[in-house]
Amino acid sequence: MGKPYGDDLRRKFLFAYDQGEGTLEDLAGRFSVSLGWAKKISAQRNHTGRAERIPYHAGRKPAVGSAMHPQVKAWFLAQPDLTLAEVQEKLKQEASIPLSQPQISRLLQKLDLRLKKSHSTPPSAIPRPSASSARSL
């Protein structure tokens, strides 16, 4: 992906447009930019009132702030076999943060915490296919 044009070019382009030095089409040719870019920055300035680029913020803000991370880690140090449902309940009760279990799972991955598998659960009765017993087509 190419780099965006600098704010200096945007300001010069829009200043020339404001001074009536030509239409967007004329100025796009003069500044060697696409007509689409010229229309886009003109519309953005009309919308925001600023000639500079709008800062890009990728993604959503995390639901659990970094201040809560040590607390979650402390829960796992005290009780390593916590389930997602138990973590969900603790977050809801102690921090008033309602999260879904997939959100909690992503939080635990981010904190490099892993849920322990229960060794008391019997293995699946369905045998896993092996490479030697697999049929070829």
pLDDT digits (tens, 9 = 90+) for 8-43: 999 999 999 999 999 999 999 999 999 999 999 999
Angle between helices 7-18 and 35-48 (to 10 degrees): 80
pLDDT value of position 64: 80
Q: What's the predicted TM-score (pTM) here?
A: 0.45
Q: How many CB atoms lie within 10 A of CB 105?
A: 14
**Tokens matching residue 113:** 């915490």
Q: Specify the residue for token string 């990728």.
A: 58
**Which has more pLDDT, 132 or 70?**
70
Whether residue 88 contacts residue 101, with contact meaning beta carbons closer than 8 Å, is answered with: yes
C-alpha span between 72 and 22 (Å, rounded): 60
**Which has more pLDDT, 81 or 115?**
81
Q: Specify the residue for token string 């780099």.
A: 3
C-alpha span between 101 and 13 (Å, rounded): 50
